[in-house]
């Protein structure tokens, strides 16, 4: 509070960002306007404020003009807030005395064609930032130690690489794999493009390294069921399902031979049988056999069959094993859960699931693999004969609006090229046709492989078959389509058709998403913190991605990303400590009435009621920083640092100072809604310029009095936007948002106000269009709001809003 007495000296910097901002905002004018605001001692516009020269300029001004607050109007704080905070620190100013106005993602980029309105909006945004800046207070961050252990979820090639890299660096790694063995997709494919190495030959040594590494603890047949905590300090619960075979198992396979139960082996895409006691494949790690209890005759502890027990000389089989919950403490988590493949039976015109000789590319991999069900002979399932005419169909389930998978799966083109060469290698006489739309051979060595396939006379026809018709006698297949280059129809007959199925997000990604509070893109893959600059970081601190979990990619990219993720996690753990943003609540002991309401809403149980002292206590390290407690406290006893009531009220007041009746005041949570609005900007989605966004960490921070204040000051409409229920970055704090908004709606209705003027929006960081269309919709709404309605709202909320 000492600062308050001191004279406030704010410096404002309006960035042109080349033409990114200056193209649609008159930066000079904004700077001139800023200079006229209270407490502002200097305002400048600058071409690239984030450049070295720009940073030097700020530092110089701080020193020479004794600035004690800095406001930069430029891009989103999600990008450069850390940069400018560092600049302030270097010039001796506490970094919490810095504030940003987002005039790029949320202004110039979304109002490309309305320079005047964009400039006006930029002025407002600067005014809001200046108003908040005047009330900023310095703060010290607390440091938390980072546990020097990592958890890797998923044991595909990406997970394996992360685990090995981190373990070799010297960190303890827990590798959790859902399946009985690690290896993932790569263990199932035969050769790998572009070099045509044998997949399992290069993967198996890595797998066994994982098995033997002293720093790696492999938890196969296990799943993560609970994650608590925060960066550096995660408490994880893993459910380790029983194998019913002890580690004494030598993998001799005697048990399998006697087991009377068989079922399709998932590893072989169902093309071969396995027994109830089995190992999915010869090179499996761990090699210990496993009993599939869904199949075994011994259920509900009734021992019907003991054949395997008798057969096992090592006496390794143990039906008394129970599921175990393992508790882990780790500092970083790497998500490497990979992808599923598309199920083409949802495309009836291709007849998959009905026509025996229509197979998927994954089935092909098993068929051509020497260790596979046909011993490496490519046979067609209907008569086990070697096909003479083979067709590949590309983009099955990818790049399609209808299947909901609009992205390119990245690997299927090259995979087909690889497959066609494999066929040619073994059976050079085979006629191969590839039906494609575009061939994507973009990587190192890819084009050469493509040329080789063409040289080997694989025939590429542009145009996908519309339909496959099976000849009931021969089981041959007719492909009917259009050659779109020649503009000619084709009807061709084949012995075997291979559908190049796409990759899709894991069906159960939602579980991991919820446990780790991650975001996913519209495609359903996990979303990185920044697509270019932080491609392996999750938005949640301490969590990283590797491999196909983040987007479809080939092995090389998966491994590259894995090593990158290992490095990122390693950096954190090497430092051994991390600072937590100083945005925890501060209690005013005088005001606290010990009502305990805050303790009920805190998602982290970071506040407890001390009945003896008749007040609550805050555990700062446990606090996530959502601020929902501060919104809940009826006595104003809790203040969230850096997002105080006064600061937010000042922002609201700045917005509503003039033309309030034409404006929408929007409260957006940092992680989803604010990021979604940024995404709309990055994608240049245009929407009406009347909205002013106030950032809070969580929508749960939005106290009803903020909304009331906005209406009391004559705002046309208010938007509260947060993450979808269940996706909340602060576990479930947004449920409080919902409750509070519903209460406000009731109040509005009771007072004869149109409740449509207060909107609640759930939006993910990837749903820019959803945000933009909401604003378009609200624009229509506010055009209809009359002056009487504005006045009525002012009266209704006058008292509560304290305007």
Partner 1 sequence: MPERHWRTPLDAEKAVRPKAEIHIIKDQCKGCGFCIQYCPKKVLEESDEINARGVHPPRVVDEKECIICSFCTAVCPDFAIFVKEKQCKDGC
Partner 2 sequence: MNTVKAITYKEALAECVDAEKLKFCFECGICTASCPMAELLEREYNPRNLLEKLFIDTERALTSDELWLCAWCYRCYRRCPQALKLPEIFLHARRFAVKHGYTQPFKNAVKKFVKASPLPLVAILTCFHPERAGLDLNTVLNETEQLRMEFLSEKKEKMEFIKGKVAVIGSGPAGLTVAHELALKGCEVTVFEALPEPGGMLRKCLPSYRLPREFLDKDIKALETLGVKIKTGIAVGRDFDFNSLWDEGYKAIFIGVGAHKGRELKIQGTKLDGVFHALDFLRMVNSGEKPNVEGKKVVVIGGGNVAVDSARIALRLGANEVSILYRRSIDEMPANPWEVKEAEDEGVKVEFLVSPKRISGKDGKVAAVEFVRIQLGEFDATGRRKPIPIEGSEFVKEADMVIFAIGEAPDLQFLPKEIELTEDGTIWVNPLTMETTLKGVFAGGDAVTGPATIIEAIRAGKIAAASIEYYLRLLG
Closest CA to 166 of 210, 111, 134: 210
Contact stretch for partner 1 (CB under 8 A) within 92-100, 105-113, 265-273, 673-681: 265-273
Nearer of residues 310 and 534 to partner 1, judged by Cβ: 310
Mark 365-404 with x for binding to partner 1 (rule: CB under 8 A) and - for no binding: --------xx----x-x--x--------------------
Check residue 21 for interaction with ligand FAD (CB under 6 A).
no
Told to check if 566 binds ligand FAD by CB under 6 A, we report no
3-state secondary structure of 278: strand
Applying CB under 6 A, the span of 53-61, 176-184, 235-243, 392-400 interacting with ligand SF4 comes to 392-400
Close Cβ partners of 294 (under 8 Å, ≥ 6 residues apart): none
List CB contacts of 473: < 8 A, sequence separation 6 or more. Answer: none
- Binding residues for partner 2, rule CB under 8 A, total 35
Taking the least distance from each CB to partner 1, the nearer of 307 and 724 is 307
170: exposed, middle or buried (Cβ count in 10 Å: 0-12, 13-18, 19+): exposed
Sign of CA pseudo-dihedral 165, 171, 172, 174: negative
Q: Is 560 in the site for partner 2 (CB under 8 A)?
A: no
Measure the CA–CA gap between 151 and 147, rounded to whole angstroms.
Answer: 11
Smallest distance from the beta carbon of 348 to partner 1, in angstroms? 14
Q: Is 231 in the site for partner 2 (CB under 8 A)?
A: no
Residue closest to 318 by CA, chosen among 218, 223, 239, 249:
249
Task: Rule CB under 6 A: choose which of 50, 176, 565, 728 binds ligand FAD.
Answer: 176
Q: Which of 88, 555, 578, 760 binds ligand FAD (CB under 6 A)?
A: 555
Radius of gyration of the chain (CA): 31
Whole-number minimum distance, CB 224 to partner 1, in Å?
Answer: 18
Q: What dihedral do alpha carbons 252, 258, 259, 261 form, nearest 10°? A: 130
- Tokens coding 765: 């960081």
Q: Does 484 bind partner 2 (CB under 8 A)?
A: yes
Restricted to residues 402-421, the positions that interact with partner 2 (CB under 8 A) are 402-403
Rule CB under 8 A: choose which of 90, 343, 620, 653 binds partner 1: 343
Residues forming a β-bridge with 459: 433
Instruction: Give the separation between CA 277 and CA 244, rounded to whole angstroms.
Output: 9
Q: Where are the alpha helices (DSSP H) in 65-136?
A: 77-90, 115-134
Number of H helices, E strands in the chain: 22, 40
Residue 307 is a binding residue for partner 1 (CB under 8 A) = yes
Q: Which of 255, 703, 744, 758 binds ligand SF4 (CB under 6 A)?
A: 255
Contacts with partner 1, 199-228, as mask; x by CB under 8 A: ------------------------------
Look at residues 636, 644, 635, 632 and name the one whose alpha carbon lies nearest to residue 598.
632
From residue 681, give the alpha-carbon distance in Å to each of 106, 171, 354, 410: 6, 40, 47, 27
With tokens 């882990």, the residue in question is 328
Closest CA to 146 of 539, 573, 569, 622: 573
Q: Which 489-508 residues touch ligand FAD, going by CB under 6 A? A: 503, 506, 508
Q: Which does 472 bind (CB under 5 to 8 A by kind): ligand FAD, partner 2, ligand SF4, none?
A: partner 2
Q: Does 606 bind ligand FAD (CB under 6 A)?
A: no
Residue numbers 58-77 binding partner 2 by CB under 8 A: none
Please report where in the chains the tokens 């917005």 appear, as a residue.
655
Which of these segments, 189-197, 258-266, 514-522, 622-630, binds ligand FAD (CB under 6 A)?
189-197
The residues, any chain, with a CB within 8 Å of residue 31's CB and separated by 6 or more, are 12, 14, 43, 44, 45
CA-CA distances (angstroms) from residue 413 to 175, 236, 409, 452?
A: 31, 39, 9, 14
Look at residues 709, 716, 705, 702 and name the one whose alpha carbon lies nearest to residue 753: 716
Please, what sign has the CA dihedral across residues 399, 401, 407, 412? negative
Among partner 1, ligand SF4, ligand FAD, none, what does residue 264 contact (CB within 5–8 Å per kind)? Answer: partner 1
- Judged by CB under 8 A, the residue of 65, 195, 208, 346 near partner 2 is 346
Residue numbers 341-380 binding ligand FAD by CB under 6 A: 341, 361-362, 365
Which residues in the 431-470 window bind ligand SF4 by CB under 6 A?
A: 438, 440
381 makes contact, choosing from partner 1, ligand FAD, ligand SF4, none, with CB < 5 to 8 Å by partner type, with partner 1
If binding is defined by CB under 8 A, does position 472 make contact with partner 2? yes
Q: What angle do CA 10, 16, 19 make, to 5 degrees?
A: 170
Residue 95 binds ligand FAD (CB under 6 A): no
The verdict on 452 binding partner 1 (CB under 8 A) reads no
Q: Which residues of 539-581 form beta strands (DSSP E)?
A: 543-545, 577-580
Task: Tell me: does residue 253 bind ligand SF4 (CB under 6 A).
Answer: yes
- Residue 640's φ and ψ, nearest 5 degrees, are -85, 120
CB closer to partner 2 out of 347 and 665? 347
CB of 129 to ligand SF4, least distance (A): 44
Binding site for partner 1 (CB under 8 A): 179, 260-262, 264-266, 268-273, 297, 299, 302, 304-305, 307, 340-341, 343, 345, 353, 356, 360, 362, 373-374, 379, 381, 384, 507
Positions in the binding site for ligand SF4 (CB under 6 A): 245, 249-255, 258-259, 261, 276-277, 289, 291, 296-298, 305, 307-308, 311-312, 314, 316-317, 394-395, 398-399, 408-410, 412-413, 438, 440, 500, 502
Q: Which residues bind partner 2 (CB under 8 A)?
A: 343, 345-349, 353-354, 395, 399-403, 437-438, 462-467, 469, 471-473, 478, 480-484, 487, 489, 491
């Amino acid at each position: 509070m000492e600062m308050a007495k001191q004279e406030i000296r704010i410096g404002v910097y309006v960035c042109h960002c080349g033409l990114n901002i200056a193209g649609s905002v008159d930066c000079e004018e904004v700077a001139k306007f800023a200079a006229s605001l209270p407490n502002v001692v200097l305002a400048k516009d600058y071409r690239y404020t984030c450049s070295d020269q720009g940073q030097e300029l700020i530092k110089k001004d701080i020193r020479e003009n004794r600035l004690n607050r800095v406001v930069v109007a430029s891009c989103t704080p999600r990008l450069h807030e850390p940069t400018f905070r560092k600049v302030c620190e270097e010039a001796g100013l506490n970094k919490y005395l810095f504030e940003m106005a987002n005039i790029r993602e949320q202004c110039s980029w979304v109002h490309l064609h309305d320079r005047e309105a964009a400039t006006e909006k930029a002025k407002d945004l600067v005014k809001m930032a200046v108003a908040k800046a005047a009330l900023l207070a310095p703060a010290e961050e607390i440091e938390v130690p980072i546990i020097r252990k990592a958890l890797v979820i998923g044991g595909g090639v990406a997970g394996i690489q992360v685990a090995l890299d981190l373990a070799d660096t010297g960190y303890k790694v827990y590798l959790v794999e859902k399946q009985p063995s690690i290896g993932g997709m790569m263990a199932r494919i035969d050769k790998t493009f572009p070099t045509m190495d044998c997949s399992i030959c290069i993967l198996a040594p890595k797998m066994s390294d994982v098995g033997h590494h002293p720093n790696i603890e492999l938890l196969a047949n296990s799943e993560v069921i609970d994650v608590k905590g925060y960066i550096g300090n995660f408490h994880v619960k893993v459910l380790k399902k029983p194998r019913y075979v002890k580690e004494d198992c030598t993998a001799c396979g005697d048990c399998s031979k006697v087991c009377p139960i068989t079922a399709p082996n998932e590893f072989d895409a169902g093309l071969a049988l396995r027994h109830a006691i089995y190992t999915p494949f010869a090179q499996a790690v761990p090699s210990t056999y496993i009993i599939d209890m869904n199949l075994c005759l011994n259920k509900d502890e009734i021992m019907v069959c003991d054949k395997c027990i008798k057969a096992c000389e090592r006496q390794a089989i143990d039906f008394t094993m129970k599921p175990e919950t393992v508790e882990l403490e780790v500092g970083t988590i790497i998500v490497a859960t990979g992808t599923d493949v598309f199920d083409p039976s949802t495309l009836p015109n291709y007849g998959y699931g009905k026509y025996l000789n229509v197979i998927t590319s994954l089935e092909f991999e098993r068929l051509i693999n020497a260790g596979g069900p046909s011993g490496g002979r490519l046979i067609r399932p209907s008569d086990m004969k070697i096909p003479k005419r083979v067709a590949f169909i590309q983009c099955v389930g990818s790049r399609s609006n209808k299947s909901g998978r609009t992205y390119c799966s990245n690997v299927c083109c090259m995979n087909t090229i690889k497959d066609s060469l494999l066929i040619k290698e073994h059976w050079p006489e085979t006629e191969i046709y590839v039906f494609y739309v575009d061939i994507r051979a973009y990587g190192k060595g890819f084009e050469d492989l493509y040329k080789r396939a063409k040289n080997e006379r694989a025939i590429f026809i542009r145009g996908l078959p519309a339909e496959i018709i099976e000849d009931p006698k021969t089981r041959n297949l007719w492909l009917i389509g259009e050659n779109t280059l020649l503009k000619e129809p084709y009807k061709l007959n084949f012995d075997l058709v291979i559908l190049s199925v796409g990759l899709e997000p894991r069906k159960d990604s939602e579980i991991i998403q919820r446990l780790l509070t991650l975001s996913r893109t519209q495609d359903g893959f996990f979303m990185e913190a920044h697509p270019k600059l932080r491609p392996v970081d999750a938005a949640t601190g301490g969590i990283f991605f590797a491999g196909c979990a983040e987007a479809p990619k080939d092995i090389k990219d998966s491994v590259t990303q894995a090593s990158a993720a290992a490095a990122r996690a390693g950096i954190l753990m090497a430092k051994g400590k991390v600072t937590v943003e100083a945005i925890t609540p501060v209690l005013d002991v005088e005001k606290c009435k010990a009502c305990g309401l805050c303790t009920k809403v805190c998602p982290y149980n970071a506040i407890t009621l001390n009945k003896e002292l008749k007040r609550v206590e805050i555990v700062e390290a446990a606090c996530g920083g959502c601020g929902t407690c501060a919104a809940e406290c009826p006595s104003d006893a809790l203040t969230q640092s850096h997002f105080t009531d006064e600061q937010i009220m000042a922002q609201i007041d700045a917005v509503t100072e003039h033309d309030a009746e034409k404006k929408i005041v929007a409260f957006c949570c940092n992680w989803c809604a604010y990021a979604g609005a940024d995404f709309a900007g990055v994608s240049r989605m245009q929407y009406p310029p009347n909205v002013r966004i106030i950032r809070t960490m969580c929508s749960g921070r939005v106290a009803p009095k903020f909304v009331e204040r906005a209406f009391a000051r004559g705002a046309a409409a208010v938007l509260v936007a947060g993450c979808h229920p269940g996706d909340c970055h602060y576990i479930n704090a947004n449920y409080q948002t919902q409750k509070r908004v519903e209460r406000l709606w009731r109040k509005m209705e009771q007072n004869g106000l149109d409740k449509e003027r207060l909107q609640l929006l759930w939006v993910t960081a990837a749903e820019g269009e959803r945000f933009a269309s909401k604003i378009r919709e609200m624009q229509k709404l506010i055009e209809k709001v009359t002056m009487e309605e504005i006045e009525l709202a002012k009266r209704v909320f006058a008292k509560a809003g304290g305007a």
